[in-house]
Structure 1
Amino acid sequence: MNETTVAVPPPPPVLDEHPAAVLDGLPTKVAQLQAEIARVVVGQEASVEAALYALFSRGHCLLVGVPGLAKTLLVRALARALELDFKRIQFTPDLMPSDITGTEILQEDIATGQREFVFIRGPVFTQILLADEINRTPPKTQAALLEAMQEKTVTVAGKVYQLEEPFMVLATQNPIEQEGTYPLPEAQLDRFLFELLIDYPTLENERGLVNQHSFTPLEKVQPVLAREEVLRFRDAIAQIPTAPNVVDYAVRLVRATRPKDASAPDYIKRWIRWGASPRASQYLIVAGRARAAVQGRFNVACEDVAALAPLVLRHRMIRSFQADAEGKSTDDIVEQLLNEVPR
C-alpha cells in the first residue's frame, strides 16, 4: 500500500461511571436493533452487526454485492433504528466534488445591498452517509470523501467545517459491472474499516421474502438507540483494555500479509504483491473492542481479531497474477494465515 500513515485516535473522554457499567446494556440493545432491522431486511444479521462494530469504532464500511440484495435498504433501516440523520449520494460519472461537500454562493442582503459568500452544505453533512455505487464517479470526486472520512472535516474555499459526530460512510459497490467504473485507489480503500460482502439470501430467507407478497415499510422500524447513547457506548468501548498477547497476535497476523516481511509464508510471496499497512493492525484491535463489547465482554480476545480479520484485510491485500491464475481470493489467503499464525 502507498498509504501507511496511521491515524492516532483521540484520547478517551472522561465518563461519569466505569466503562464496563456503561456497556452492560449494550448486548441487549444490539439484539433489539437486529430485531427491528430484520423486520425490513431479511438474512443480513452479520452485516448489520459488522456495521455496528464500525460505528462504535469510528470506522466506515464498503458494502460489495450485486443489485437487489437490499444494501441501500439495510443502511436506511440502520440509520432509522439508531435515530441518526441519513443522506444518500448516488455517484455518477458527472458528479462533482462540490455535489458532496457543498459550495459557496454569492448572496445579496436586500436591506443593505451588501453581498457576501454563504456556504451551502452538501449531503456529507450528516451522520450516516450512503455513498451509492461509489466506483461510478471519477477519482477527483471520490477523493472529496477522503478528508471527511479520515479527518471528519470538510474544507471549502480555505475554510474548515467540522462534521457532526457520529459520522459514518457506508459505500456500496457492484462487483460484476466494471464497464464505466473507476476502481477505488488503494489509499481510499484503506480508509474503510471493513469490506462487507453482501451475499444472496438462503433458500429459507428467500422463500420467506417471496411469501410476504409485499415490502415492509421502512416506517415500521422503531428507534432503539439515540445519538447520545451511541456516543456514550462508543466512548466506553474505546477504553476496553487489550492484553499484550492480543496486540502481538494482531501485529503478527498483519505483518504476515507482507511479501517482503521475514515472517511471511512462501505462499504470501507468491500470491500477494502488497500486504496490509499498519492501519490494519490498529483497526483489528479497535474493532475487536467493539465486538467484545457487543458480546458482553470487557476485554479483547484473539478470537475477536481472528473473526474480524477477513473484514479488515480483504480489501488491503493486493493479489498477484499468480493468485488469480490459481483462483485464490483474499479470503482464501486470510483463512490460510489464520490457520497458521499462532495465537
Structure 2
Amino acid sequence: MENSTQESHLRSENVVTYDSPYPLYAMSFSHHRNNHQYVAVGSFIEDYNNCVDVLTFDDETLTLNSNPSLSFPHPYPPTKLMFHPHPSSISSPTILASSADFLRLYNLHNDAFEPVSILNNSKSSEFCAPLTSFDWNDVVPRRIGTSSIDTTCTIWDIEKGVVETQLIAHDKEVYDIAWGEAGVFASVSADGSVRIFDLRDKEHSTIIYESPEPDTPLLRLSWNKQDLRYMATILMDSSKVVILDIRSPTMPVAELERHKASVNAIAWSPQSCRHICSAGDDTQALIWELPTVAGPNGIDPMSVYSAGSEINQLQWPAAQPDWIGIAFSNKLQLLKV
C-alpha cells in the first residue's frame, strides 16, 4: 500500500481475490509458513445450513484456490474461525476451531477436515447459548476461551474436552474475548465495559474502559501481542477505534476517527506494536501508525484501501504479515501491505 493518506488504487499484483458462492464473514489463516497456506472462510447464510471453505494461498503465484475436498458443512454461520496457533511441524495435524451454537474442533486428515469434538458450555442443557466469539491461547494452546450471549466466558481445556473454568463476566451479552498472557484474558460486552481477568484470581475482574455513552455495547476487542500494554476496542454504531493503555484505565490513549461509518473489525500488526488496521461500513480498510504523541487534530491513517462494499471482517495473519485479509459481500481479498 502506498504510504500516504490518499486512497490506494492497488496494482493487480497487490490484491488477490476469491469469489465465494455465498456471503462471507468468518475467516482465519493457518500458521504454517510454507507456500501453501490455508485460509478458512465461513458462509454467512441466515439458515441452519452453512459451510466452511478452506482455500490454499500460494504467495509465489498469488493465487487463492478452493479445494472442494477441504470444504465441509457447518451448522449456522460461524461467528469466528481459528487455526491452531502452533502446529508443531509441517506434518503435525492442522486443527481448525469454529464458534456458533457450540465450540467445534476439526482435524485435517487425509485431505479432509473431520469433526473431532463439539464442546457445550451449558451444564444444565444439551443446548448452548450462542457463542459470539472465541480466542485460542497461543501461550497455552490447550486453552480456548469462548464468549457467549449468556454473559459468561468459558475457558476450555480442549485436550481433555472439559471446562477449566466458567466466569460470569458481565451484566449483559459478551461479544468478544482476547488472550493477553497464559492466564490473562479480556472481554467486551453489551454492558459497555472492557474487563480483564486473571485465572489466578477468578473472583475479581478489572474494568479498564467503559463506553462514554451509557449502555453503548462494545463489539470487538484486539490485544496488541507485540506490546501487551495496549488493546483496541470498537463501539456499536461508532466510526471510531478506541486505543487503550491498561496502565491508565478509563481514559483512551488515542481515538482513531477517520472512518465515515461504523467500524466492524480491528487487527493489530503481528510484527509491529504501533500499527493497526480497521475496516467498516464505509467500505474502507485503514492502516494506522500510532504516534508516540498524538497531535491536536487527531491521527490520519497512513494508507487507505477501498473495497466494493461494506467490510465485515479483517485479519492480519502472523504467518503472512505482508498481507491483510478482508471479507465483504461474497469476496475474500488479500491486500499486500
Q: So what's the TM-score if we normalise by structure 1?
A: 0.25
Q: So what's the TM-score if we normalise by structure 2?
A: 0.26
Determine which structure has the larger helix proportion and give its number: 1
Higher relative contact order (CA 8 A, sep 6+): 1
Determine which structure has the larger strand proportion and give its number: 2
